[in-house]
A and B are shown apart, each in its own frame.
Chain A
Amino acid sequence: MRHPADISGESRRLDALAPKLMGMAGGVGLLGLIISVALAFMTEDGVRRAYHAYMVNFCYFLSISLGGLFFTLIQHLSRAGWSVVVRRLSEAVGANTLVMLVLFIPILLGMHHLFPWTSAELLQNDPVLQWKQPYLNAPFFLIRCAVYFGVWCGLSYFLLKRSLDQDASRDPKITLSMERMSAPGLIAFAITLTFASFDFLMSRDYHWFSTIFGVYFFAGSFLSFMAILPVILLFLKSNGRLRHAVSAEHYHDIGKLLFAMNVFWAYIAFSQFMLIWYANLPEETGWYHRRITGDWLNLSYALLFGHFIIPFLGLIGRVSKRRLRLLTPWAVWVLAMHWLDLYWLAMPEYWLRVEGAPVGTIPFSLLDLSTFLGIGGIWVAVLALWLRDHSLIPEGDPRLAESLAFENA
């Protein structure tokens, strides 16, 4: 058995890094949002376009946050020892669902741009929409969103708060209370994430339906968290934080989960595609048809190779998982592909039901970048805020020693 890593002399706090990070990321975020607003009002059809870009990036950072929440929950549920040293990071990422709640407000304001089912005119002429109206209506949508964010924010704040309490009190009972919460918490998480993905992304083409869609969004969500974890770790390490606490053994397991989730994403993506392709029913194929028309086909192939085959070969080896400087580039690659995946999920419907739309073209815009920087900057700043006055690892966790001595057999 490896002896627990000696962390007595190392820096486990952000300290001076926190205000610097908050200032820089927050500045980039605000600037990004201001530029987005300016672009939205300056370009043709800019407001609608801006809302679409905002939606893609909102879902992107929401999925990472939910991935962090899921990671924390599953570690508690399985009473995992290995992951304790990175759990504070997942708790903080999960708690970012709180900032996503604030960032959700613009989407509520722009609902009529993003969700065609809010249109009274369409409702009158579309029997399919009339049939779905008991579910797809604005008041019920708002109630559902309140439930989603209630569950996410409640769970993630509880897990972060209790864990921070434990830093001071070192009370193992706190661990038990978090473990007890994780089982019902995961059930609530699964239900809310599934319906949120239906509401935010699938309902954009309200004619279309796919029961596996929630699992697809979940796969991307957990994958993106496993990808952002090495990035955060490399940032902390190169700034002299957590030098010894997190070792190659931990990267190895993070890399394994990253690899596994990447394969899982491909499995789910293909499962959804194959059933629809094989049955060939018009009400289901329309959604895919948009994604294989014109330039979108290239993007679909880019996902097939870039999101699955290339990282599959890159991450299958042992070395690329155990060296942070090899793992992180792959993690960044996966993060980029996850962004492309969400773009692919949300953006083709931009042309849907638009008279004379250039079908098959990809409406890339500067707004995609500016909203990314806007939401991303604020997201990083809030992440630093959670960690500002606290340790980067759960100091009081009874399994900390086990995690510090962790070794892949």
Chain B
Amino acid sequence: MHDHTAKPQTKAEPSTRVFAVLAEFPSGDEMLEAARKVRDAGYTKWDTHSPYPVHGIDEAMGIRRTILPTIVFVCGLTGALTGLALQWWTSSVYYPVIVSGKPMFSLPANIPIIFELTVLFSAFGAVFGMFALNGLPSLYHGIFNSGRFNSRMSTDRFYISIEAADPKFNRDSARKLLESIGGQSVEVVEERAAVEFPPMLRKWGITALLVLGAFALLPPLYTLRARTRTSEVTRMQLIWDMDQQPRFRAQMKNPLFADGRAMRPQVPGTVARGEAFADDHLHRGLVDGRFAATNALPVTESLLQRGRKKFDIYCAQCHGLDGLGQGMISVRAERLQEGTWVPPLSLHDEVVRTREDGHIFNTITNGIRTMPPYGDQIRVEDRWAIVAYVRALQRSQNATLEDVPSDRRGELP
């Protein structure tokens, strides 16, 4: 609208309302005295203003003790528990990695993080809790509509303001009270009825935001450009040392060592974790240098089930599911008339039946004739499980009446 008559209307005095009654005091002590009287008069929405913190103002204003310490304590406790849970879950549940040979979950190693998170959460609780309790951030406060307040509050004067929002508020009685308790230059502070954005801020603020926003877009745009193009220029290396680390790669020479090898051979006698093979019975099937007569593990139903599973995976291809030597590979090799093929021995053969458990274990581990070794493929416990299952298979083919439980012998045909 370009109507000239509209202009005076926008310039017209906006309607105002009372924000507070304000009184000035020359010293902190006088303000403190007066504050006690305002408190005793029963006002609830009122405030004191001072250039510096005044001791005893909490008591004089009747302010209750803040709940901030409780907030901080709860935040700190949350931080401690978060730190504990975070480390427990990441390091021992989700991605368990052994570090320095310590247990997956070890409290001493976790304490520093727990401590840091306790401090961090407490600090957040203290800062943001203080903001929230004080109603911050606040971009507008009605008291700044007083010119006198603006010019002297932060230098050498003390003020008490009783706000219109107080349920007891009455312009005249508030004024009378403040004057009676020694308040000087008592004034009624008025504010605009509708809070407006200052035109200056609106004009320049929006421009500044747009310019800043445009600048903020530059880095992602630059990244986008780099990602969609190819270039012959070497990529920018901001931290050169990190991109070009001096190090020896596999098969390189290293003059530091007498043999010139960068890849270092193992120190003689090195044993990898869990590969000490200290137990002769368990790892070699030997007892006193002879094949062990018994299984190295206690034979249980679950061990037999495990053995059956592994047997069906690794052994049945040649030996057959029943152990008679009619596995798919053997059958096919015979059909193709392979000259080198030696058919596997039936596991029910007297030779195998009389062999010790340790001997069978040794055969699985190291192989025999054309049978390859399985020591690298099947875990040691599983090899013993297979031995136990082979024993069960043999028994199934050579069972006597005594093997059937006496109460179920009647079911036999």
Which residue on chain B has the smallest CB distance to residue A279?
Answer: B100
Contact check, B109 vs A278: say whether CB atoms are below 8 A apart: yes
- For the complex formed, measure the closest distance between the CB of B353 and the CB atoms of chain A, giving whole angstroms: 52
- For the complex formed, measure the closest distance between the CB of A403 and the CB atoms of chain B, giving whole angstroms: 14
Contact check, A1 vs B108: say whether CB atoms are below 8 A apart: no
Taken residue by residue from 21 to 34, chain B's Cβ proximity to chain A (1 for < 8 Å, 0 otherwise) reads as 00000001100100
Contact check, A278 vs B53: say whether CB atoms are below 8 A apart: no
Which of B29, B55, B112 contacts A409 (CB under 8 A)? B55
Contacts of A316 in B (CB 8 A): 73
Contact check, B56 vs A407: say whether CB atoms are below 8 A apart: yes
Q: Which of B78-117 contact A (CB under 8 A)?
A: 100-102, 108-109, 111-112
Contacts of A277 in B (CB 8 A): 108
Q: Does chain A have a CB within 8 A of B372? A: no
Q: Does chain B have a CB within 8 A of A318? A: yes
Q: Does chain B have a CB within 8 A of A365? A: no
Q: Does chain B have a CB within 8 A of A209? A: no
Which of B56, B69, B100 contacts A280 (CB under 8 A)? B100
Q: Does chain B have a CB within 8 A of A140? A: no
Taken residue by residue from 42 to 80, chain A's Cβ proximity to chain B (1 for < 8 Å, 0 otherwise) reads as 000000000000000000000000000000000000000
Contact check, A407 vs B55: say whether CB atoms are below 8 A apart: yes
If over half of A's interface residues share one DSSP class (helix, strand or loop), that class is named, otherwise mixed; here it is loop
Interface size on B, residues (CB 8 A): 16
Interface core residue of B28, B101, B108 (most chain A CB under 10 Å): B108
Which of A2, A278, A280, A318 contacts B55 (CB under 8 A)? A2
Contact check, B29 vs A273: say whether CB atoms are below 8 A apart: no
Q: Which of A254-302 contact B (CB under 8 A)?
A: 270, 273-274, 277-278, 280
- For the complex formed, measure the closest distance between the CB of A54 and the CB atoms of chain B, giving whole angstroms: 34
Which of A2, A270, A318, A407 contacts B111 (CB under 8 A)? A270
Which residue on chain A has the smallest CB distance to residue B53?
Answer: A409
Contacts of B100 in A (CB 8 A): 278, 280
- For the complex formed, measure the closest distance between the CB of A406 and the CB atoms of chain B, giving whole angstroms: 9
Contacts of B32 in A (CB 8 A): 1
Q: Which of A183-227 contact B (CB under 8 A)?
A: none
- For the complex formed, measure the closest distance between the CB of A95 and the CB atoms of chain B, giving whole angstroms: 34
Contact check, A274 vs B111: say whether CB atoms are below 8 A apart: yes
Q: Which of A395-409 contact B (CB under 8 A)?
A: 407, 409
Complex Cα distance, B109 from A184, in Å, reads 38
- For the complex formed, measure the closest distance between the CB of B103 and the CB atoms of chain A, giving whole angstroms: 12
Contact check, A278 vs B56: say whether CB atoms are below 8 A apart: no
Taken residue by residue from 100 to 143, chain B's Cβ proximity to chain A (1 for < 8 Å, 0 otherwise) reads as 11100000110110000000000000000000000000000000
Complex Cα distance, B54 from A316, in Å, reads 26
Contact check, B55 vs A1: say whether CB atoms are below 8 A apart: yes
Contacts of B73 in A (CB 8 A): 316
* Contact A274:B108 (CB < 8 A) given known A1-B29, A1-B55: yes
- For the complex formed, measure the closest distance between the CB of B105 and the CB atoms of chain A, giving whole angstroms: 15
Which residue on chain B has the smallest CB distance to residue A274?
Answer: B108
Contact check, A278 vs B108: say whether CB atoms are below 8 A apart: yes
Contacts of A278 in B (CB 8 A): 100, 102, 108-109
- For the complex formed, measure the closest distance between the CB of B130 and the CB atoms of chain A, giving whole angstroms: 14
- For the complex formed, measure the closest distance between the CB of A287 and the CB atoms of chain B, giving whole angstroms: 16
- For the complex formed, measure the closest distance between the CB of A131 and the CB atoms of chain B, giving whole angstroms: 28
- For the complex formed, measure the closest distance between the CB of B35 and the CB atoms of chain A, giving whole angstroms: 13
- For the complex formed, measure the closest distance between the CB of A407 and the CB atoms of chain B, giving whole angstroms: 5
* Contact A1:B56 (CB < 8 A) given known A278-B100, A316-B73: yes
Taken residue by residue from 50 to 71, chain B's Cβ proximity to chain A (1 for < 8 Å, 0 otherwise) reads as 0001111000000000000100
- For the complex formed, measure the closest distance between the CB of B29 and the CB atoms of chain A, giving whole angstroms: 7
Which residue on chain A has the smallest CB distance to residue B102?
Answer: A278
Which residue on chain B has the smallest CB distance to residue A277?
Answer: B108
- For the complex formed, measure the closest distance between the CB of A365 and the CB atoms of chain B, giving whole angstroms: 32
Taken residue by residue from 368 to 393, chain B's Cβ proximity to chain A (1 for < 8 Å, 0 otherwise) reads as 00000000000000000000000000
* Contact A274:B55 (CB < 8 A) given known A1-B29, A316-B73: no
Complex Cα distance, B108 from A274, in Å, reads 6
- For the complex formed, measure the closest distance between the CB of B101 and the CB atoms of chain A, giving whole angstroms: 8
Contacts of B112 in A (CB 8 A): 274
- For the complex formed, measure the closest distance between the CB of A256 and the CB atoms of chain B, giving whole angstroms: 12
Contacts of A2 in B (CB 8 A): 55-56
Contact check, A318 vs B56: say whether CB atoms are below 8 A apart: no
Complex Cα distance, B109 from A340, in Å, reads 26
Contacts of B54 in A (CB 8 A): 1
Which residue on chain A has the smallest CB distance to residue B69?
Answer: A318
- For the complex formed, measure the closest distance between the CB of A259 and the CB atoms of chain B, giving whole angstroms: 13
Contacts of B29 in A (CB 8 A): 1
Complex Cα distance, B29 from A318, in Å, reads 27
Which residue on chain B has the smallest CB distance to residue A316?
Answer: B73
Interface of B toward A, CB cutoff 8 Å: 28-29, 32, 53-56, 69, 73, 100-102, 108-109, 111-112
A-B contact pairs, 21 of them (CB 8 A): A1-B28, A1-B29, A1-B32, A1-B54, A1-B55, A1-B56, A2-B55, A2-B56, A270-B108, A273-B108, A274-B108, A274-B109, A274-B112, A277-B108, A278-B102, A278-B109, A280-B100, A280-B101, A316-B73, A407-B56, A409-B53
| 10 tightest Cβ-Cβ pairs between the two chains A and B | A1-B55, A407-B55, A277-B108, A274-B108, A1-B56, A409-B55, A270-B111, A409-B53, A2-B56, A278-B100
In the complex, besides A270-B108, A274-B111, A409-B53, 9 extra interface pairs with C-beta distance below 8 angstroms are A1-B32, A1-B55, A274-B109, A278-B100, A280-B100, A316-B73, A318-B69, A407-B56, A409-B55
